[in-house]
A and B are shown apart, each in its own frame.
Chain A
Amino acid sequence: MWLSFVPVSVEHKDSHAHDSSHSHEEEHGHGDIEPVVVKMLSPNQELAAEMKKSGVDCEALAPGSHPLEHKPYYSHVFAMTPRLVTNKGLIEIRGRNIDFVQVLQRS
């Protein structure tokens, strides 16, 4: 399930961080609520982040931004090659023999 909803960073804003006066909290009226910010990452962004941690120079590309994403993903020479797949994004690799990494999801 981590690929669909990946909580990358959770930020807690503590309303009691500053020793503010009681009147300041009353002005805003949300003194006890701690907002939680959850960033969602697509599978290629998550994979690119893992690659960067391992020292690979790479960058996740925006979905649909490269011509490779609009071409067939298989030559269908091999048997049992799937017909229905979903493109989940490209990662550009620099400084290696590999040029791109593409993530596909089976449909």
Chain B
Amino acid sequence: MPNLDPNPLPYGALQYYQVHYIVQIESEENQNLLAKCEPITKGHFSNKRVVDVKWTGADKFAEVLQEDGKLTEMLKEVMLQVGEIKIDPQDDHIRIYAKWGHEENFHFNETMLEIADRIAMHIKNKLKPTAKS
């Protein structure tokens, strides 16, 4: 039987995890890919469902993602679980991630991988002509 501390420290590592899907691509236009996806929902509690998603962001990239019907359908499946999806570009790579999740819910999500892969496809299509090899 492990000895559990009745007064745990209020700081240190928390039981929340986040998975970042990383696209390694270096371009001068990386910063134009900043975007965020939020769900549009109807109903409350157990009747809550995602009816659409809304992409907001810089440049025209958010419009490209909004127009992808297959991506929208996949997003509708997972947005209630993951909350929101952010595309966070840096100088030599771009990160795609959702909200923090408790370790009890921390499992591999195949749909989320497919979503990140499809977003990465759009990123590469947009940046390929200008990307540094």
Contacts and interface: CB of A to CB of B under 8 A. Distances in A.
A99 to B, nearest CB: 4
Contact of A50 (B13, B107, B121): B107
A87 to B, nearest CB: 10
A47 interface: yes
B17 A3 contact: yes
A105 to B, nearest CB: 5
Contacts of A1: 103
A97 B124 contact: yes
Interface residues of B, number: 37
B17 A100 contact: no
Contacts of A54: 108, 110
B19 interface: yes
A3 B22 contact: no
Interface residues of A, number: 32
Contacts of A3: 17, 103, 106
Interface stretch (A11-19, A30-38, A72-80): A72-80
Interface of A: 1-3, 43, 47, 50-51, 54, 56, 68, 71-75, 77-78, 85-86, 88, 96-107
Given A3-B17, A54-B108, 15 more contacts: A50-B108, A54-B110, A85-B18, A88-B17, A98-B23, A98-B113, A101-B19, A102-B19, A103-B18, A103-B19, A103-B20, A104-B18, A105-B14, A106-B14, A106-B18
